[in-house]
Amino acid sequence: AGSRASVQTALRTLLTAPWPSQRDVRSWLQLLSVLQWVLSFLLLGTVSLLLLVYLLFTSFWPISALYLAWFIFDWDTPEKGGRRLPCLRRWPVWRHFRDYFPVKLVKTHDLSPSHNYIIGSHPHGILCVGAFCNFITGSTGFGEMFPGIRPFLTTLAGNFRLPVFREYLMSGGLCPVTRRAIGYLLSKNGTGNAVAIVIGGAAESLSCRPGVTTLILKNRKGFVRMALQHGAHLVPSFSFGENDLFRQVVFEEGSWMRSIQQRFQKMMGFAPCVFYGRGLTSVRSRGFLPYARPITTVVGEPVAVPKIEDPSRETVDMYHEMYVRSLLKLFEENKTKYGLSETDELHIL
């Protein structure tokens, strides 16, 4: 009788407890969508590699052997346009991912499907959330805003040497940030391709912090040379709010910690940033999830580029200067609309 009464009491308590509201459910879904994205990028490649190595010493070793054979056979695919899956770009989880921040895409000019484009994505931030959400997922309406344009996003070539993770990256439209991969998309994949490159790269992430907009761009001219060699138009884009997603411990230039970060970045291709965001259970706790801050990615006016197979240094410098002017114009015209003040400036190093 006692146990029956306790069960009845528990049931009554459960029935009288307030059910989560639709707003609560949406918040949980948004948080989980961001969690899976962060864990995928930080752990999927390493965990997959360790699992395949472990399986080699079990009765399931044929799984690892078959995947290794496939890996070798498929080695060059990332350099030849990848293997994008439209269904992954339309995955409903990306809508929750978009709404967590939220992320918004703003179009200022049309892009003609009869041309190819290199989109310069600025700034790098810590995890390139704006670039990923706008150019890899379909959640912000890139396909509707720019009909006939296929967006790609470049990332470190080393990521495509990690098992399983490489399949995940290619399915969304990511490709290695190498001359061969970018050249393939701009010359052997027809027209209507837009290859987004986070030009500042790992070096720029070391200067990422709220309230400071510093770009590593002055001596980054390889993307301009490639645009000239393939006749691809240059398009600046800027993600306002990207630097507000995490807090970073920034070490001063000349300090021993800064020199370690820079050496590591030169050797490995990425910089070991010391950063933190919010925790899983509370906004006030510290963790590795980004803060919910609005990101607005504005895609600017294309800079028309002629096709010159062997452009001179002077020609590269001229079009690089034109690109920088277009980017500065984009920043100045939009900064007060998306969270910055009239006095904020774009610093280019």
pLDDT score of 6: 74
Note the pTM of the prediction, 2 decimals: 0.89
pLDDT score of 205: 75
Residue 9 CB neighbours (<10 A): 10
Cis bond upstream, residue 311 (ω within 30): no
Domain range annotation of the chain:
21-348
Gap between the Cα atoms of 217 and 120, Å rounded? 10
**Dihedral angle of Cα 41, 45, 47, 52, to the nearest 10 degrees:** 160
What string of DSSP letters covers 5-72?
HHHHHHHHHHHHSPPPPHHHHHHHHHHHHHHHHHHIIIIIHHHHHHHHHHHTTSTTHHHHHHHHHHHH
Cis bond upstream, residue 123 (ω within 30): yes
pLDDT score of 257: 67
Nearest to 245 by CA among 289, 284, 299, 285: 289
Each residue of 103-129: pLDDT tens digit? 999 999 999 999 999 999 999 988 899
Edge to edge, what strands does the sheet with 193-198 contain? Answer: 103-107, 295-299, 233-240, 117-122, 193-198, 150-155, 174-176
What is the pLDDT tens value at each position of the chain, 349 positions in all? 556 667 767 666 656 666 677 787 899 999 999 999 999 998 999 999 999 999 999 999 999 999 999 999 999 999 999 999 988 888 999 999 999 999 999 999 999 999 999 999 999 988 899 999 999 999 999 999 999 999 999 999 999 999 999 999 999 999 999 999 999 999 988 999 999 999 998 778 767 666 668 899 999 999 999 999 999 999 999 999 998 998 877 666 667 666 766 676 666 555 666 778 999 888 888 888 999 999 999 999 999 999 999 999 999 999 999 999 999 999 999 999 998 888 888 889 8
pLDDT score of 276: 83
Could you tell me how far CA 29 lies from the centroid of its own chain?
Answer: 20
